[in-house]
Structure 1
Amino acid sequence: MTLTQLKYVLAVDTYRHFAAAAESCFVTQPTLSMQINKLEKELDVLIFDRNKHPVEPTVIGAQIIKQARTTMQEAKRIEELVKGSKGQVSGEFRLGIIPTVSTNLLPRFLRVVMEKYPEIELKIEELQTEQILEKLDRDQIDAGILATPLDKTGIIEKPLYYEPFMAYVPKGHRLENEDFVLHSELRLSDMLLLKNGHCFRDSVINLCASAFPDDHSNHKTLEFQSGNFETLIRLANNGFGMTLLPYLMALDLGEEERQFIKPIEHPQPTREISMIYSKVQLKISIIDLLAEEIQAQLPKKLLSPQAETVVNPKIDKKLAG
């Protein structure tokens, strides 16, 4: 049994296709298949059911894959221990980040990190929260940036900043003449939302439900199969309601659109944005420097929660009804 064989097994489990797995490992399919066959003969079990399409692990195969993942993680940690002992900050770092954060956060810190730490090979993937958690569990990414708290066993949450929710109130809206938006004016029936799967959508639903619990007019809420705020802004400008935006998104709007941004009354609702990683993660030096560089590029007022309240990034069923 070799680490290479275990690597090939994990690749097949990930892609559920031998050809795709071989391509991801930069080997030919016959080479990959031969090594997996050798391992199966050595163990005297079938790891994969090749009659299924896509390929699926057998019952014992699933257990072997789970242990193989742990073994590969431990092997990688030996390398990280050596680098850490030498004070090296280098190597591949795989980062997942949710879409409602990536657009306005990545441009703020990426260039600085790449110029200061050219030895770090950053691989960044835009993922939704559940995908980040799944890939962390499967050791397919090293860390994720998303909205917290999550309170997941085995996961460490390192808060980066606290981002206020800002109201986008277009011309002609019932609130256009207000200097700020009251909590009681946050009505779900008047709110343009992102599609399912976005934690920002869930936070907005929680916020509206807690501020105006008697508003159950969900039928008036427009939902789009799109994950971008630009669409919501255009629809708001055309009279379809209002929307809420993260602070950094509002900050990056053009001058014409920024005039429609209004703060929400205190205590101002916020979302907590954190870097999350496994409790056994050894690339802590890279995680720490990334967190430091991110915070250095942000307005200082976002770095502590102060009097703001953090909104639950997952729908509170008690509030949402």
Structure 2
Amino acid sequence: MNIQQLEYIVAVDNHRHFVQAAEHCNVTQPTLSMMIRKLEEELGIKIFDRTKQPIVPTGVGRQIIDQAKVILRETGRMNEIAKHFNGDLSGELKIGIIPTIAPYLLPHFVQPFIEAYPNIRLHVSEMITERIMSELKTGNIDVGIVATVSGENSLQEIPLYKERFYAYVSANTDLYNKQYILPGDIEPNELWLLEEGHCFRTQIQRLCELSKSSRFGNSFNYRSGSIETLIRMVDRNGGITILPELAVAELSEERKKHIRHFRYPEPAREVCLVVNRELVKSRLIDALHKGIREYIPQIIAESDEQIRIY
């Protein structure tokens, strides 16, 4: 039995497919299958039921895989202890980030971070919050950047910053002539939202007290995964959408004329790092936290208390 074999059975469990698991582990499928069979022979059990598609663990195989994950985590922890002792800040950091944060946060810190920590390799993937939580549990990513409370006991949240919400309104709406607005001023039939699955959509639904069971016009039912698309829909078709603060900072001066503030307490979201409580790469995650806090706009980092988190 060796660490490599344990990595292989965890990969097959995650992918439920031998070829995909082999690609993930950068080995050939015959090599991966042979190593897993040797482990099964050594233990005298079958770890996977190969008669089913997708492949699933056997009853005892499930227990073996769960124990393999524990061993791999502890092995990683040993490596981290050694790196910490040697003052070594290097390695790979796999990050999941939600799409309503990625295009506005990443440009602020990625290049300075790479220059400050040249031996840390960042692998960043956009994914919705639900998938980030799932990938953290399976160990496929090391850290998530989200804007909602996970509610998972196995996960730990590390606050990064708070950012306000702003209304982006068409000149054809009544709200365009107001300096400050209330959530109740927003007409649901004029509101453009992201598609289901995005936590930002859920936050806006709470802000505007919108019910999933309510009936809305066609604009509300438009399915988009991009804040930029929603801005363009308002520009060309009228209506309203809600933007996070970092997105507002990216607008042209002409588009900023369409921004309206909410009255106090201003609605906002809190952006956090979320990690497995049994985190292994603590030093790398600490560096990531420091890097983001250092390079995000100062006005965001020092957000005042006159806000309400959704």
TM alignment of 1:7-26, pairs within 5 A:
7-26=7-26
Q: Which residue of 2 aligns with 1:161?
A: 161
- Secondary structure of the 2:175 match is coil
Q: Which residue of 2 aligns with 1:227?
A: 225
- Tell me the distance in 1 between the aligned counterparts of 2:5 and 2:283: 30
- Secondary structure of the 1:292 match is helix
- Secondary structure of the 1:245 match is strand
TM-score (norm 1): 0.91
- Secondary structure of the 2:171 match is coil
TM alignment of 1:115-126, pairs within 5 A:
115-126=115-126
Contact preservation (8 Å) 2:169, 2:240: yes
Comparing 131-140 with 177-186, greater Cα deviation is found at 177-186
Shift of 1:264: 1.0
- Tell me the distance in 2 between the aligned counterparts of 1:119 and 1:262: 43
- Tell me the distance in 1 between the aligned counterparts of 2:187 and 2:56: 46
Q: Which residue of 2 aligns with 1:243?
A: 241
Shift of 1:188: 3.0
- Tell me the distance in 1 between the aligned counterparts of 2:111 and 2:73: 29
User: What's the CA shift string for 1:285-304, capped at 9, x where partnerless?
Assistant: 22222222212222333224
User: What's the CA shift string for 1:72-109, capped at 9, x where partnerless?
Assistant: 11111110110011222111111111110001000000
User: What's the CA shift string for 1:2-42, capped at 9, x where partnerless?
Assistant: 11111111111122211121122122211111111111122
Q: Runs of 5+ in structure 2 lacking a partner?
A: none
- Tell me the distance in 2 between the aligned counterparts of 1:59 and 1:156: 30
Q: Which residue of 2 aligns with 1:310?
A: 309
TM alignment of 1:1-321, pairs within 5 A:
1-209=1-209, 216-303=214-301, 304-311=303-310
User: What's the CA shift string for 1:187-234, capped at 9, x where partnerless?
Assistant: 43331110111000000000000xx78x94434552333310122112
Contact preservation (8 Å) 2:156, 2:275: yes
Q: Runs of 5+ in structure 1 lacking a partner?
A: 312-321
Among the aligned pairs, what percent are the same residue?
40
User: What's the CA shift string for 1:105-137, capped at 9, x where partnerless?
Assistant: 000000000011101011111111111111111
Shift of 1:240: 4.5
TM-score (norm 2): 0.94
**CA RMSD, 1 decimal:** 1.8
Contact preservation (8 Å) 1:9, 1:36: yes
User: What's the CA shift string for 1:140-175, capped at 9, x where partnerless?
Assistant: 111111013223202221111101001000111121
Size of the aligned set, in residue pairs, is 308
Contact preservation (8 Å) 1:270, 1:309: yes
- Tell me the distance in 2 between the aligned counterparts of 1:183 and 1:18: 51
Contact preservation (8 Å) 1:187, 1:208: no
